[in-house]
Amino acid sequence: MEAIIKFDLHEPDDAREHKRMLKAIDMQMVLWDISQELRAKIKYAPDGTSEDTYKAYEEISDFFYGKLNEYSIDLDL
């Protein structure tokens, strides 16, 4: 099976979409790094981490993973 995607790079919208496709792997890697940092902040919270800070990490994590789920983004692909 083969897929070919064509862009008219003289058209601003196509040029922007082309750049987005070229950066898709980088965007996935950024999301992966954020997910791992959130996981580490929650799982390995050092002693002395305030309850408010820990709850904030959990809330951000819930929001982050909720958005990934909403847009059907699987970081393991």
Per-position pLDDT tens, the chain of length 77 = 999 999 999 999 999 999 999 999 999 999 999 999 999 999 998 888 899 999 999 999 999 999 999 999 999 87
| Cα–Cα–Cα angle for 19, 24, 63, rounded to 5 degrees | 125
Which pLDDT score, from 0 to 100, does residue 46 have? Answer: 86
pTM given for the model: 0.81
pLDDT of residue 65: 97
3-state secondary structure of 42: helix
pLDDT of 58: 96
pLDDT of 77: 76
Q: In whole angstroms, how far apart are CA 17 and each of 2, 3, 30, 50, 65?
A: 20, 16, 19, 43, 25
How high is the pLDDT of residue 47? 85
